[in-house]
Amino acid sequence: GAVVSQHPSRVICKSGTSVKIECRSLDFQATTMFWYRQFPKQSLMLMATSNEGSKATYEQGVEKDKFLINHASLTLSTLTVTSAHPEDSSFYICSALPGGAYNSPLHFGNGTRLTVT
């Protein structure tokens, strides 16, 4: 149980275009989802916390106008990288918190490898 599906797994886009990444909880409802970014040999860096039905909470240094997050339902959150640039190339991973309890384990998607050319 507690499966999180993330799509696409890989995407290559040209500089200046936008890319949307979807994160779905398949067998549970997730009031809270988290979006992370991971550079090679670096730790997971939390970008934002996505709450169903309300605005996302962004971490310091993350541009909310560049990384648009929408959590319109209890099973879907999307991250849109707008006007992507090569420095946005990274591994983006979403995770969901079943039940919302703050000490529950996170369930992660398999990530999206974004390459901006």
Partner 1 sequence: SQKIEQNSEALNIQEGKTATLTCNYTNYSPAYLQWYRQDPGRGPVFLLLIRENEKEKRKERLKVTFDTTLKQSLFHITASQPADSATYLCALSAGNNRKLIWGLGTSLAVNP
Q: Which residues in this chain contact partner 1 in the complex, by CB under 8 A?
A: 4, 6, 32, 34, 41-46, 49, 91, 93, 95, 97, 100, 102-103, 105-111, 113
Which of 18/42 has CB closer to partner 1? 42
**Amino acid making up residue 57:** T
SS3 content of the chain, % helix, strand, coil (to 5): 5, 50, 45
Nearest distance in Å: CB 5, partner 1: 11
Minimal distance, residue 82 CB to partner 1, in Å:
23
Can you tell me whether residue 14 is helix, strand or coil? Answer: coil
Which CB sits closer to partner 1, 11 or 82? 11
CA dihedral angle for residue 79, residue 83, residue 84, residue 87, rounded to 10 degrees: -120
